[in-house]
Amino acid sequence: MTVNPAEGKSYLAGQWHDLLDLIYPPVCGLCGKLADSDDRLICEFCWSGVKGLEAPYCSTCQVFLRSKPFCTRCDEPSMTVYSLGYFDNQMQTILHDLKYRQLKPLGPILGQKLADLISRSSASPTFDLILAVPLHHSRQYKRGFNQAEEIASGIAAGIEVATIFSLLHATRKTRQQAKLPASRREENVRDAYTVIDPDHILENKTVLLVDDVTTTGATLRENRRVILDAGARMVLTAVAATAYPVDVGIKN
C-alpha cells in the first residue's frame, strides 16, 4: 500500500491538533465555554447569534431594501449596506480578535456569513467584482494583513465572485475614524483613496465593496465615490457590523 506523503502529513497534523485539544481544550473567545465549532475560536452557540440583518438597508433613511438593490426614496448619495448585525459587545469582541489578536480565520468566516446573507436577499444584483476598503501601507505593514480583505475573501468564496485588491488604494494615512466625532469623519477621509485601473476593469461593473465595520458610513462613501468615478455602474457595500445612531429598518 502506497501512502501519499501529503496525505500522511495532513493526517498527522489532524492527530496533533486532536491531542492538543485534549490537553488544552479550545475555549470560545466570547463566552469562555468549549469552542465546539470547526474554527475552534467561537462556539457554535455564539456563532448562531450572528445571523445578519434581515435585508440590506439604505444608509441614508435606514429602510430595509427588500426588492431592489438601491433606495427609491433617497437621492443618489444614498448607499446600500449588507450587515451581519450591530456593533454590540459580541461583534466588537469578534472584530477585535480578528484585527488585534491576529485571528485571521475569523475574517473568512464572517465573509461566508455575509455571503449567505447576500444570497438570501431578493434585492441582491449579480456582482462582477468584490473590492475591499484598503488600509494605508503603514497600517497594513504593522498589522500584517487587511481585515477587510479577509472578510471579502470569504464572501468571494461563498458567492463565487472574483476579488481584486490591487485597484483601490489609500493615498494617505488618515486619523482613526473611531476617535473622531461624526462631524469630522467626512473631512478625514476626503480624497484619501484612489483607484488605479489602467485596464478599465471597473468600467460598467457592479461592485461589492467590503469593510469590517461602519459607523457614519464616511469611509465607505468615499471609497464608493472613487469607484464610481472610475467607471463602475453600481457599488453596494457589505460590513460585518454597523453602528448607526438609529436602528435600521424601523421606518416604512
In this structure, the answer to whether residues 34 and 56 fall within a common structural domain is no
Please tell me what DSSP assigns to residue 99. Answer: H
204 against 14, higher pLDDT? 204
70 against 169, higher pLDDT? 169
CA nearest to 116, candidates 221, 212, 238, 234: 238
User: How many domains, the chain?
Assistant: 2
Q: Are 171 and 196 in contact (CB under 8 A)?
A: no
| 76-135: pLDDT as tens digits | 667 999 999 888 888 999 999 999 988 999 999 999 999 999 999 988 999 999 999 999
In this structure, the answer to whether residues 237 and 176 fall within a common structural domain is yes
In this structure, the answer to whether residues 68 and 193 fall within a common structural domain is yes
Range of the domain at 140: 50-242
DSSP line for 20-63: HHHHS--B-TTT-SB--STTSSS-HHHHTT----SS-EETTT--
| 158-171: pLDDT as tens digits | 999 999 999 999 99
State the pLDDT confidence band at 3, using cuts at 50, 70 and 90.
Answer: very low
CA distance 90 to 200: 40
In a domain, 247, yes or no: no
Q: Quote the pLDDT of residue 7.
A: 53
